[in-house]
């Protein structure tokens, strides 16, 4: 009999995750913050790795009668500070390493914002664009059933991410509520308003990206009314960030998505582009601008560049060619480790790191969860005022630490998040 390999199951899991470029990137960011904080070795190891990796196969009857298997993951990075919180992604490239990276970013994001949550993320490898609404409903309901042993309003609360939306959340509420026997709106956030969603959750992430980008522009001594903006990604995050910046006087000169990219030096009209992108499932062909090659988008000259699509788009190849003053990371993980080093050396771009820049979504998810638990409804004004004051507080804290310790913005933001999680774990005795 062959000798079994002498690799512990934990080590095998760690190696599997580190084989993912996205997880490796997240781990490198964590290591840098942990190094700066000089965390004790036990604490450092304890905070780095996910608590639970849950993978399930999800059988779905397709409209043509065939049975298709989908592979789904939910990674619960940690639960020490409260229920796991984080979105659910439907995209063909989803894999466990990506989901684990996104889960760890949720952990630091929630802690940086001071939310009483742990971090998690889910994903199903599928192409929602190619599926009918009944197929998506069957996929969502079966996935939710498979997750029932692992979720609950005090255990794990999902929300929309790439490829999912309020309708997907509504199906999840219904499936979970039928299981427990009573309506449980606290099981997810990002729900429709008619099912006890929160006012302003739909626009919260984009609103937060725009709000922080404006703070950064002011910090650089510029005015938003003179600013030009380029966005990659025009879904939930990108479209509302563009709309908000444009309402504040900025000029949206180019927008790209999975279908193509459009440019207009005089400014794209977001009031027309938003309905166009919904109707045509993308921005390609928008008559209010001219088509440009998608690969030119990120290196266009502009004041604010907003990646709001997928990870790892600012790379070693294009980082030195960026021509923006502010890089507002709407997407999670848009900048690779190599690109980060280039941006740090350049020192002429103000980076608003993802875990702060896109935290408006999870902050309003927290408000939505609180409203659901209390059977209360806040006004849009209340939600936005509280959101902006929390974002402004994060911005100030990150600036202060970055200045005091001469740290890049990302390291400062990560350090604040990691420190809070490490402190909670040490207070609880490192075992939770």
Annotated binding site: 85, 109, 205, 236, 365
* Exposure string over 6-29, b if 16+ CB within 10 A, otherwise e: eeeeeeebbeebeebbbbbbbbeb
- Rule CB under 6 A: is residue 422 a binding residue for ligand NAI? no
Nearest to 251 by CA among 303, 179, 214, 291: 303
CB of residue 244 vs ligand NAI: minimum separation in angstroms?
14
What is the distance between the alpha carbons of residues 164 and 141, in angstroms, rounded to a whole number?
13
Q: Which parts of 251-310 interact with ligand NAI (CB under 6 A)? A: 256-258, 282, 308-310
> Which residues carry a binding-site annotation for substrate?
85, 109, 365
Q: Which of 77, 81, 85, 199 binds ligand AKG (CB under 6 A)?
A: 85
Q: Is 121 an active-site residue? A: yes
Three-state secondary structure call for residue 17: helix
What is the distance between the alpha carbons of residues 412 and 406, in angstroms, rounded to a whole number?
9
Which does residue 411 touch among ligand NAI, ligand AKG, none (CB within 5 to 8 A, set by kind)? none
Q: Which parts of 333-372 interact with ligand AKG (CB under 6 A)? A: 358, 361-362, 365
Residues in the interface with ligand NAI (CB under 6 A) total 24
CB of residue 60 vs ligand NAI: minimum separation in angstroms?
20
Consecutive H or E run containing 351: strand 350-352
What is the distance between the alpha carbons of residues 380 and 363, in angstroms, rounded to a whole number?
14
Strand partners, 202: none
* Exposure string over 118-147, b if 16+ CB within 10 A, otherwise e: bbbbbbbbbebeebeeebbbbbbbbbbebb
Which of 44/91 has CB closer to ligand NAI? 91
Consecutive H or E run containing 344: helix 337-346
How far are the Cα atoms of 107, 198, 277, 374 from residue 378, in angstroms, in the given order?
Answer: 26, 8, 30, 11
Which of 44/257 has CB closer to ligand NAI? 257
Active-site hit among 48, 51, 121, 199: 121
From residue 306 to residue 345, what is the string marking binding to ligand NAI with x (rule CB under 6 A)? --xxx-------------------xxx-------------
Which does residue 343 touch among ligand NAI, ligand AKG, none (CB within 5 to 8 A, set by kind)? none
- Rule CB under 6 A: is residue 161 a binding residue for ligand AKG? yes
Which does residue 83 touch among ligand NAI, ligand AKG, none (CB within 5 to 8 A, set by kind)? none
Residues in the interface with ligand AKG (CB under 6 A) total 14
Q: Is residue 236 within 8 Å of residue 205, measured between CB atoms?
A: yes
The binding site for ligand NAI (CB under 6 A) comprises: 160-163, 205, 232-238, 256-258, 282, 308-310, 330-332, 358, 361
Catalytic residues: 121
Which residue ranges make up the site for ligand AKG (CB under 6 A)? 85-87, 106, 109, 159, 161, 189-190, 332, 358, 361-362, 365
């Amino acid at each position: 009999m062959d000798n079994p390999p002498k690799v512990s199951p934990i080590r095998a899991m760690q190696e599997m995750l580190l084989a993912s470029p996205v997880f490796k990137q997240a781990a490198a960011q964590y290591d840098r913050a942990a190094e700066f904080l000089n965390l004790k070795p036990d604490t450092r190891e304890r905070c780095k790795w996910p608590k639970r990796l849950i993978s399930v196969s999800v059988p779905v009857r397709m409209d043509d009668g065939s049975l298709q298997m989908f592979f789904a993951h939910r990674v619960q990075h940690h639960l020490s500070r409260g229920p796991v919180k984080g979105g659910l992604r439907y995209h063909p490239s989803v894999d466990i390493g990506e989901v684990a990276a996104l889960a760890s970013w949720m952990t630091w994001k929630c802690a940086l914002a001071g939310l009483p949550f742990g971090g998690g993320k889910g994903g199903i490898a599928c192409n929602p664009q190619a599926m009918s609404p009944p197929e998506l409903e069957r996929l969502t309901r079966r996935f939710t059933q498979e997750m029932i042993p692992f979720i609950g309003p005090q255990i794990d609360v999902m929300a929309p991410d790439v490829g999912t939306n309020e309708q997907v959340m509504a199906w999840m509420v219904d499936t979970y509520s039928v299981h427990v026997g009573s309506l449980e709106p606290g099981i997810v956030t990002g729900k429709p308003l008619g099912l006890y969603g929160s006012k302003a959750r739909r626009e919260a992430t984009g609103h937060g990206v725009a709000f922080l980008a404006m703070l950064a522009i002011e910090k650089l001594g510029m005015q938003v009314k003179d600013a030009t903006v380029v966005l990659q990604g025009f879904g939930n995050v990108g479209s509302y960030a563009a709309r908000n910046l444009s309402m504040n006087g900025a000029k949206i000169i180019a927008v790209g998505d999975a279908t193509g990219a459009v440019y207009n030096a005089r400014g794209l009209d977001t009031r027309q582009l938003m309905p166009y992108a919904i109707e045509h499932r993308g921005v390609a062909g928008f008559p209010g601008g001219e088509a440009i090659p998608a690969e030119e988008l990120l290196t266009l000259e502009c004041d604010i560049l907003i990646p709001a699509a997928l990870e790892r788009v600012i790379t070693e190849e294009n980082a030195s060619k960026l021509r923006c003053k502010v890089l507002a990371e709407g997407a999670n993980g848009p900048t690779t480790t190599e690109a980060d080093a280039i941006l740090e050396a350049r020192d002429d771009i103000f980076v608003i790191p993802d875990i702060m820049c896109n935290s408006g979504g999870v902050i309003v998810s927290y408000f939505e969860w609180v409203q659901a638990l209390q059977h209360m409804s806040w006004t849009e004004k209340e939600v936005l005022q509280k959101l902006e004051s929390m974002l402004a507080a994060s911005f100030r804290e990150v600036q202060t630490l970055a200045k005091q310790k001469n740290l890049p913005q990302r390291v400062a933001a990560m350090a604040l998040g990691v420190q809070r999680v490490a402190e909670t774990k040490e207070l609880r005795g490192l075992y939770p």
